[in-house]
Amino acid sequence: MDKLFISMFLSERGGKTRQKIVIKLLKRPYNANQLSKKINMQYRTIKHHLNILLEENIIEKENKKYGALYSISYKMKRDEKNFEKFKKQIQELNS
């Protein structure tokens, strides 16, 4: 988890964007368009980072259709100890 956390959220290339996305998804599910508006970034940029987060099983997509909602993955939530640590680290980076 720590290596994954560092590579996903502390890297100079995209780390801050992925932090912003996860902060939003910790509160509730969003689709890519909603996230792009909330974070004030281009839709394509958001989609790129969502795909990276999906590949690492940090988030999940509810369906494959346009407008699909993204949320924190069950796999992340299932490991409660690491998930709480993850949430805390993300929130500390953004405070």
Q: What is the pLDDT of residue 89?
A: 78
Note the residue count of the chain.
Answer: 95
Cα separation, 39 vs 52, in Å, equals 17
Domain ranges of the chain: 2-93
pLDDT in tens, the chain (95 residues): 567 666 767 766 788 899 899 989 989 999 999 999 999 999 999 999 999 999 988 899 998 788 899 999 988 777 767 767 777 877 787 66
For the segment(s) 2-93, the CATH number from 3.40.50.300, 1.10.10.10, 3.90.550.10, 3.50.50.60 is 1.10.10.10
Q: What is the pLDDT of residue 1?
A: 54
